[in-house]
A and B are shown apart, each in its own frame.
Chain A
Amino acid sequence: MASDTTITAGALAASEKPGEGVWGFSRAQIIALGALVVFLAVAPFVLYPVFLMKLLCFALFACAFNLLIGYVGLLSFGHAAYFGMGGYLAGHAAKVWGLTPELSIIVGGATAAALGAVAGWIAIRRQGIYFAMITLALAQMVYFFCVQAPFTGGEDGIQAIPRGNLLGVLPLDRDMNMYWVVVAVFLGGFLLIHRIIHSPYGQVLKSIRENEPRATSLGYRTDDYKLMAFILSATLAGVAGATKSLVFGIATLTDVHWAMSGEVVLMTLVGGLGTVFGPLVGAAVIVTMQNYLAEMGAWVTVIQGVIFVACVIAFRRGIVGEIARLLKVKL
């Protein structure tokens, strides 16, 4: 088992006991998942649905990012590229091509997958900090592309994206209808990631995280596994971005900027790297914070920086990682 010094210390709070729980979920995770489902069912009647949808989109984005950092040990500093491009293409598909929302989201996810395949193919040639720098540089390239490409609308972005009718039937202009679609997308992505992690493929990913040379010597083509994980992560980030652009009816440069890549790192770090529920909790914390501090302008950046520093210095397990450690369970 890796020591506390590795980046995924939060994931190692309790050892895994196979055979316990259902579908790879531990008992604690089943309880947490039940609580989550109840929360999602009750929340829109208490809280503002648009706020919840924003939260869920970012939560899925953070879960996708966590798949790479938490289970393969790869820190991508350019995930905004997939999130933002997914949003742009979904917006374009819905507005210009007139596709239904579910097809638009698929278009967004497919775009991110293609982009992730190319970027991942280049980036997995290096590890550690180089991987982070390469993904950051490639994402900056995508950003400049979006600034110049005609279909993105430059500084204005794509505006007035119609939410359309789900499957051509259910009008999503009503926030409550849209909310249930977003919940379905989020839970679908969340469970898919869980399934991936607990599949034999996911076990190989974890072995690569713990000791790549040993995985190679056992005969695994680690590069193929890493590339596949990168594409899966990029795809889900694209789906999250696509859903977000439909919810808000707008896709802008903010979503492809490096600051967004930093934000998703922060969400996952706050919640707990390598924990199943950490990205969700982290996204909730950061999105709520941004909502309350919106008028404070540049101070939000400063506060985010302070949280970064505080987490790295004193709180590396994150919120969920700490809870899991205190309760001696796996979350």
Chain B
Amino acid sequence: MDDIFGIPAPLLFGQLLLGLINGAFYAMLSLGLAVIFGLLNIVNMAHGAQFMMGAFAAWMLLAWFGIGYWWALLLAPIIIAITGIILERLLISRLYKLDHLYGLLLTFGLALIIEGVFRNEFGSSGLPYRIPDALSGAWDLGFMFMPVYRGWVVIAALVLCLATWLIIEKTRLGAYLRAATENAALVQAFGVNVPRMVTLTYGFGVALAAVGGVLAAPIYSVNPQMGSNLIIVVFATVVIGGMGSILGAILTGFTLGVVEGLTKVFWPEASATVIFVIMAIVLLARPAGLFGRA
């Protein structure tokens, strides 16, 4: 096999693909965070825990009820979104008139509770989730073997992200949402039920995290910590991209995943920190983020 920059091509492409997959999760999670933040003005620290709950929901559906991957892809996000909506109604909605930092502290507490409960119930070693039959195997692309499931994750995440963008930018519902982000009181004066929209938006953001969890279940082992490690990188992604733009969040997520993958090839020791370094550089050069409004 040919070498590229002195690196065996299969290794390079393999890491690129892994980077794209990580990028897909960064994009989906930062998108959900951005949508929630836009309307609720709350940084959802529980986002990682809800991603993990999505993966566990898929595992439970299979292990306890024999419900397979495809149904889980639909059911798990709905179940997790319902738990999110309950949390929003019971707890988060009490904080809208307070300093935004309280929302951050509350959702951090919720994340601790959720993770702790799952760790008590399932331990921290992780549970396997089998790749569905239709997506097992690998394609021979000529220059590398591409596991079908990994290709599917990248494509599914892209489609979901773009669909979210279309809904928010091109539909009437999305127009209401954007208007409420700008001025909720005015939108309410026009007769739109803003509190209900806020609740549903939170549910939608949480559902996005849960879909990510279901997609991640066959790749990573399903374990209680899978979300908390990811979410800090996603926060850095959000800071880099700025939360002002949906497309910006998607683009930033995928790009950073690829950059991280490439770093793993050329300078493995730095791969865990490269995204944080990029964040620092972006903050020094453009404090509002690449796509943010100052």
Question: Interface on A for B, CB 8 Å cutoff?
Answer: 5-7, 75, 77, 122-123, 125-126, 128-130, 132-134, 136-138, 140-141, 144-145, 147-148, 258, 262, 265, 269, 297-302, 304-309, 311-313, 316
Contact = CB atoms under 8 A, between A and B. Distances in A.
Contacts of A138: 276, 279-280
A6 B109 contact: no
Contacts of B238: 133
Contacts of A77: 104
Interface size class of B (residues with CB under 8 A): 35 or more
Given A75-B101, A77-B104, A132-B43, 5 more contacts: A7-B99, A301-B112, A301-B119, A305-B110, A309-B113
A258 B115 CA distance: 14
A269 B101 CA distance: 12
Contacts of A307: 109
Nearest to A262: B108
Contacts of A312: 95, 102, 105-106, 109
Given A122-B280, A297-B120, A309-B106, A137 B113 contact: no
Contacts of B101: 7, 75, 128-129, 132
A211 to B, nearest CB: 14
Contacts, number: 123
A122 B94 contact: no
B contact patch SS: helix
B100 A128 contact: yes
Interface of B: 37, 43, 91, 94-95, 97-102, 104-106, 108-117, 119-120, 228, 232-233, 235-236, 238-239, 269, 272-273, 276-277, 279-280, 283-284, 287
Contacts of B120: 297-299, 302
Contacts of B117: 302
19 contacts: A7-B99, A125-B284, A126-B239, A129-B37, A133-B236, A134-B239, A134-B279, A137-B236, A140-B233, A140-B236, A301-B115, A302-B113, A304-B109, A305-B111, A305-B116, A308-B109, A308-B112, A309-B91, A311-B105
B236 A299 contact: no
Contact of B232 (A129, A258, A305): A258
A70 to B, nearest CB: 12
Contacts of A297: 120
Contact of A132 (B104, B110, B276): B104
Given A125-B284, A298-B120, A312-B105, A306 B113 contact: yes
A269 B114 CA distance: 20
A5 B99 contact: yes
A265 B115 CA distance: 18
A120 to B, nearest CB: 12
A133 B283 contact: no
